[in-house]
Amino acid sequence: EEVKRFIPVILSVEPCASVVKAPEKLSCRIWKFQDRTYLLVCNLTREGVAGDIWLSGWHADRRDLLGGDGSEVDGGRVPVTLPPLGVVMMKLK
């Protein structure tokens, strides 16, 4: 149910930034939909994970739409802290 509202984003084929670097224990996927960038990050382990995700594009703002800790974005660096098997879907500007 939580994912249904993101179906238009997930199905988007608009060209977007890419994930350049991410911690090994995190899985990331990025989309662009209606001029907004969306980043999904999943912790694949049964332990908490913290680290930085680096994107090819520059972003100045982050709004967590599902999960997350609301850390601030610093250009192409997106800091994340996720609990075991945690997920965050964020909208970036």
CA–CA separation, 61 and 72 (whole Å): 7
pLDDT band, residue 85 (cuts 50/70/90): very high
Q: Could you give the CA distance from residue 52 to residue 39 in angstroms, rounded to a whole number?
A: 13
pLDDT at res. 84: 97
Q: What is the pLDDT of residue 69?
A: 85
